[in-house]
């Protein structure tokens, strides 16, 4: 729970009363490797704070091909944010790639605190803004950068992730085949 408090306070200062109310609505949960926090078709009701572990966000096309959209590495928030906001079914799966420890809250309970504790609402806004910028930057990378440059950015953003997850997940995230990723890695190591 200390990681959650530090994370919130890194966004904006949370009053002791606000933190007390906020901490009451979060409860610990574990996800085993391979388990889903949320699946496509579900309507999101919960938001999670990842204390330890790694998850991937991915979607499947009609042919069943998976595309990794994002990796979540602790500490961070996870959940079907679009589904939480719109109250419509989620389209992106979030699956544990390692065993994970979380703090989970019902999103509507957090929303109820917004009017009482403006600093909690401010933290939610700042978090949404950060994720928006991150999403936009990722879209720009996919469209404008070649695979070699995307891999270099991946290595900077997730410096130790390659040690913990299969290469095909990284290839999917980069928009290349595993064979292409091997070539890119070999080319970079030869520099």
Q: How confident is the model at residue 2 (pLDDT cuts 50, 70, 90)?
A: confident
Which residues contact residue 95 at a Cβ distance below 8 angstroms, ignoring those fewer than 6 apart? 34, 35, 36, 37, 55, 56, 58
C-alpha–C-alpha distance, residues 32 and 95, integer Å: 9
Are 170 and 71 within 8 A, CB to CB?
A: no
**pLDDT at residue number 111:** 95
Task: Find the DSSP H helices in the chain.
Answer: 2-11, 16-25, 81-86, 107-114, 118-144, 147-157, 167-174, 178-189
Tens of pLDDT, residue by residue over 7-25, are 999 999 999 999 999 999 9
Say which CATH superfamily domain 2-129 falls into: Jelly Rolls (2.60.120.10)
Burial of 156 (0-12, 13-18, 19+ CB in 10 A): exposed
| Strands 27-31 and 93-96, bridge-based pairing | unpaired
Find the mean pLDDT for residues 79-94: 95
Q: Flag whether pLDDT at 108 surpasses 90.
A: yes
Per-residue burial over 111-144, b if 16 or more Cβ lie within 10 Å, else e, is eebeeebebbbebbeebeeeeeeeeeebeeeeee
**pLDDT at residue number 118:** 95
Tens of pLDDT, residue by residue over 168-188, are 999 999 999 999 999 999 988
**pLDDT at residue number 188:** 83
Round the average pLDDT of the chain to a whole number and report it: 94
Q: Where are the domains of the chain?
A: 2-129, 145-191
Q: Flag whether pLDDT at 1 surpasses 80.
A: no
pTM: 0.91
Q: How confident is the model at residue 189 (pLDDT cuts 50, 70, 90)?
A: confident
């Amino acid at each position: 729970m200390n990681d959650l408090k530090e994370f919130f306070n890194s966004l904006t200062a949370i009053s002791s009363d606000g933190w007390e109310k906020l901490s009451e609505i979060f409860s610990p949960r574990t996800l085993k490797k391979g388990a889903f926090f949320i699946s496509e078709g579900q309507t999101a009701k919960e938001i999670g704070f990842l204390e330890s572990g790694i998850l991937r966000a991915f979607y499947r096309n009609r042919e069943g091909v998976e595309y990794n959209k994002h990796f979540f590495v602790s500490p961070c928030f996870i959940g079907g944010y679009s589904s939480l906001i719109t109250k419509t079914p989620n389209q992106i799966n979030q699956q544990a790639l390692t065993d994970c420890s979380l703090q989970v809250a019902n999103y509507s309970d957090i929303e109820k605190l917004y009017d009482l504790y403006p600093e909690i609402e401010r933290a939610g806004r700042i978090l949404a803004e950060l994720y928006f910028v991150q999403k936009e930057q990722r879209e720009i990378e996919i469209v404008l950068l070649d695979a070699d440059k995307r891999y270099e950015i991946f290595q900077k953003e997730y410096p130790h992730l390659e040690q913990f997850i299969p290469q095909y997940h990284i290839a999917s995230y980069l928009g290349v085949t595993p064979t292409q990723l091997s070539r890119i890695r070999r080319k970079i190591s030869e520099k």
